[in-house]
Chains A and B, each alone.
Chain A
Amino acid sequence: MRSCLFFKEMRNISRLFVIALLAMISLSKAIAQDGDAASGETLFNNNCKACHSPKDEVVVGPGLKGIQQRRDLAWIVKWVKNPNGVIQAGDEYAVALYNKFNKAQMTAFPAFGDKEVKDILAYIEKANTAVAAAPAGATNTAQAVSGGSGPSDLFTYILVALLLVMLLVLGVLLAIVSILSKAVSGDVSSSEGTSMGDKLRNGLVAFSKNSAVRSATVWFFILMVTKATIDGMYGIGVQQGYAPKQPIAFSHKLHAGQYKVDCNYCHTGVNRGKSATIPSANICMNCHGVIKKESPEIQKIYTAIEKNQPIEWVRIHNLPDLAYFNHAQHVNVGGVQCQQCHGEIQTMEVVEQRSSLTMGWCIDCHRKTDVNTKGNAYYDKLTALHAKKSKEPLKVADIGGLECSKCHY
């Protein structure tokens, strides 16, 4: 309860000092491309991820790396809004793509406009830049610490370095300009006897003594530290990237990825109640009663059964007690894919917390997600009422999805 949170908060407060040092780095989040990569990421995760990878591997549809080089924006927007239309219109590229992917047609996103597509493209680009800069394997610890959802840190380091170089160049240029202008105005005598270097130094000293410059610098740093502190505060208690070692080295990559075992097979509660449930040992034994019995990891299950002592897994996704979350509502009723919140679980050797699980993250999704009203008589009246008022699809937020006591009581 509170005491737990207290410790967690204290631990995180100590991290703030580290974060404050990285203040400038965090600021670089503001520097973005044409589209907003952060909102693009959410859009991508909610809508595209089930079929597309931001890299170049094929999931269901093609990988989206370099999409902007392949097609122009107008085409992409048209395609996303109405893929069928583009194919029907006989667009060569589109038809080729359609045939290449076994005539499986992409879902249309009529609600997406230029803004959304640009955001997604920004995200794709960012995802690829970050990966290119940081080779695989170098886990980004700083990100886990700050808990932010911004660009990778190496990327920000580069940007900051560039910024510094540019400032330096600017300073030098200003100095040169001032010297040259003095020379031109014939004020050479005054500079007689002083070297070029001295002049530059004097110029810089004068520049730094300027009170406006000084106060601007001070304010600049205060604001940056404040922002970094606030950003850091939002990260308190957020365990994004938390990937503890488990008592048994169970691989989701193998089971869910390679062997494509359905999530529901083991997580039996996911359609029924709050908890998706960690499978009990008897579920493991359905297969491992026969398969790979001799593996030392699987032997641990046998030992547990023999000793009649349940396996103590380490809990990864820790929602605080004050928040109510129900898997059945999201998976059974809402039709949300596991990956949307848990990330590409089928690729994880060791499971880690991919989403921040903050209230902002919840609310954000509730604002953007359409209610899965199809075939559910519960929503009939609500959709009818909503249709009268608005042409937009019914969002979770429209039916009280942002109200306090939906999750807190």
Chain B
Amino acid sequence: MENFSEPMGFLIDNTKCMGCRACQTACKQWNNLPAEKTVFFGGPGYQNPKDLSDSTFTLIKFREVIENNKIKDWGYWKKQCQHCIDPSCKAACTAKAIEKIAYGPVIWDEAKCITGCSLCKDACPFNIPRFGDNHSTKIRKCTMCYDRIEQGIEPACSKACPTDATIFGELKDLLAIAEKRISSKPEVYHQYIYGKEEVGGTSVLYISGFPLEDIGYPDK
């Protein structure tokens, strides 16, 4: 059996992402999530849907990087639950439905969650939890594919990723990889590992060509 006492999570490296959105579809495929009706694009670039929802647990966003009024890069990043080390959603949940599992995922007990309540969403610094239209469902969000992890299979999104822009593993290993990457290529990476300290640390670490604060992520 694996050692589930070591905390696990994702490392998302925006410089390796090429915006193919395999992760979005792989997430829907594994979790049997329905498609949403979309029109044109839901945000800059080719983004769709507009936002996370009760049927979209992960979303690739696009950003044109402009320098001297010319295109310099087309960047992509993956939005999903950060699986905080000390989740404020859990603290806010009066029904005690939300649980942080020691090895990583923040999940919930469907039986305890109260339909129509959105305290978890209000508390989340990343604005992650979603409910169906008019609160028709209980909390819905990324589960870190804990069902797969429990069976020794990595999460659907990181498995699908062609370029290892999203990898899954023990957080201490991911941190070491992140540190090595940013220090070995200072010309490519913004010298910062997002998620290491933010909101007390999260199980999703980001490294990127630009500060995540630029795209609306909360700073420390």
Same complex for A and B? Answer: no
- Interface set of B (CB-CB < 8 Å, partner A): none
